């Protein structure tokens, strides 16, 4: 009897030990803390999100697993700065925000149909799609409140709201939306919204900024016309003058494939483009003075995302981490 009792105690202790090891790096314990100088690669499975991290200063790597009932192996992840939006294809799983740099916090949005189009230091800009309309929403990161910005548009077969850009210098957020009537500029300053029509055409492309100017690199939705560069300085409802546009001398249709951009000089911008079905990553240099664009290099990389840390650009692939070095070439991080 004594042996049986001892044996049961050993088994119980072993089970507890195994359980504790399995739960290591799960949930929001101390091991899930990720600092701002860390790169994150992810893998999805049902009810599980696994992060593979690498600190760019210490080279320290880690594996962290989060379990949540709303995670699906086919979930779509949209990253914007330090926030992720998870959209699951399962009707029973609601959209949710994930903050990997904030102790791995999950925030359920309680509905489906959200798109993450922008962020500032204290808020996120989202679009909520319903059956007939889309509505502009703001999520306050500090008080965790989701509010309606009282701006909406009817949905038709040409409706789309593009990922926007927030200029920290001017405290402005700019996006583009389209419908069957054309293309519109959408500006947000301190929750105040201004919108004007940019073109009768339905355009598609990439929005960023350089210094105090917003840039829209765009072509028609079918990519049948030359790519144009729109320079946007001020949106004024009382002005009939639209932003100036310039043709860009480039044969590649990169306007729909640009992932990120970063200034090289006050006049030049580095563009990072994900091409060939997501299997080729290319670098381009855009000069806004002479409106020229030049391809620098490319590499076969299946890209998950781009992260800027301390003014350096890093590429996160499905298997490795890369840095764009001073020579504007891809450098594998070991």
> Residues in the chain, how many?
334
- For residue 17, the model assigns a pLDDT of 44
Please enumerate in sequence order all residues whose Cβ is within 8 A of that of 331, keeping only pairs 6 or more positions apart, or say none.
Answer: 322, 323, 324, 325
Read off the pLDDT of each residue in 220-235 and give the average, rounded to a whole number.
86
With tokens 């639209």, the residue in question is 242
83 membership: H or E segment, kind and range: strand 83-87
Q: Is the pLDDT of residue 278 over 50?
A: yes
Q: Of 12-21, 161-170, 209-218, 284-293, which range is least confident?
A: 12-21
Distance of CA 281 to the CA centre of its chain: 16
Q: Is the pLDDT of residue 107 over 90?
A: yes
Beta pairing, strands 48-55 & 61-67: antiparallel
Please enumerate in sequence order all residues whose Cβ is within 8 A of that of 149, keeping only pairs 6 or more positions apart, or say none.
Answer: 135, 136, 137, 138, 188, 191, 193
- Largest interatomic CA distance in the chain: 93
pLDDT tens digits, one per residue of 34-81: 999 999 999 999 999 999 999 999 999 999 999 988 899 999 999 998
Burial 46-74 (b: 16+ CB within 10 A, else e): eeebebbbbebeeeeebebbbebebbbee
pLDDT tens digits, one per residue of 241-265: 678 899 998 888 899 999 999 999 9
Radius of gyration of the chain (CA): 23
- For residue 241, the model assigns a pLDDT of 64
- For residue 18, the model assigns a pLDDT of 43
Angle at 135 between CA 130 and CA 140, to 5 degrees: 120
Q: Do the beta carbons of residue 287 and residue 296 sit within 8 Å?
A: no
pTM of the model: 0.87
Read off the pLDDT of each residue in 210-238 and give the average, rounded to a whole number.
84
> How many CB atoms are located within 10 Å of the residue 229 CB?
21
For residue 53, CA distances in Å to 33, 64, 174, 302 come to 11, 8, 31, 17
Distance of CA 8 to the CA centre of its chain: 52
């Amino acid at each position: 009897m004594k042996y049986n009792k001892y044996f049961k105690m050993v088994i119980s202790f072993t089970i507890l030990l195994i359980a504790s090891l399995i739960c290591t790096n799960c949930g929001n314990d101390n091991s899930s803390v990720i600092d701002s100088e860390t790169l994150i690669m992810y893998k999805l499975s049902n009810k599980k999100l696994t992060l593979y991290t690498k600190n760019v200063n210490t080279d320290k790597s880690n594996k962290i697993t989060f379990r949540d009932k709303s995670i699906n192996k086919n979930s779509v992840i949209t990253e914007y700065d330090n926030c992720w939006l998870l959209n699951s294809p399962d009707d029973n799983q609601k959209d949710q925000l994930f903050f990997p740099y904030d102790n791995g916090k999950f925030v359920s949005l309680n509905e489906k149909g959200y798109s993450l189009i922008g962020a500032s230091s204290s808020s996120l800009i989202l679009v909520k799609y319903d059956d007939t309309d889309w509505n502009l929403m703001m999520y306050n990161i500090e008080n965790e409140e989701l509010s309606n910005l009282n701006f909406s548009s009817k949905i038709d077969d040409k409706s789309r709201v593009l990922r926007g850009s927030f200029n920290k210098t001017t405290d402005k957020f700019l996006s583009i939306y389209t419908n069957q009537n054309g293309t519109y500029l959408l500006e947000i300053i301190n929750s105040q919204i201004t919108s004007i029509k940019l073109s009768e055409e339905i355009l598609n492309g990439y929005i960023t900024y350089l210094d105090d100017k917003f840039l829209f690199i765009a072509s028609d939705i079918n990519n049948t016309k030359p790519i144009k560069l729109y320079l946007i300085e001020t949106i004024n409802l009382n002005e009939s003058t639209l932003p100036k546009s310039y043709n860009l001398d480039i044969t590649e249709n990169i306007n729909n494939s640009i992932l990120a951009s970063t200034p090289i000089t006050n006049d030049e911008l580095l563009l990072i483009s994900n091409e060939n079905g997501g299997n080729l990553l290319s670098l381009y240099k855009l000069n806004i003075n002479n409106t020229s664009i030049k391809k620098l290099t490319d590499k076969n990389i299946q890209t998950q995302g781009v992260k800027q840390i301390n003014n350096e650009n890093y590429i996160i692939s499905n298997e490795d981490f890369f840095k764009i070095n001073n020579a504007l070439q891809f450098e594998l991080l070991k």
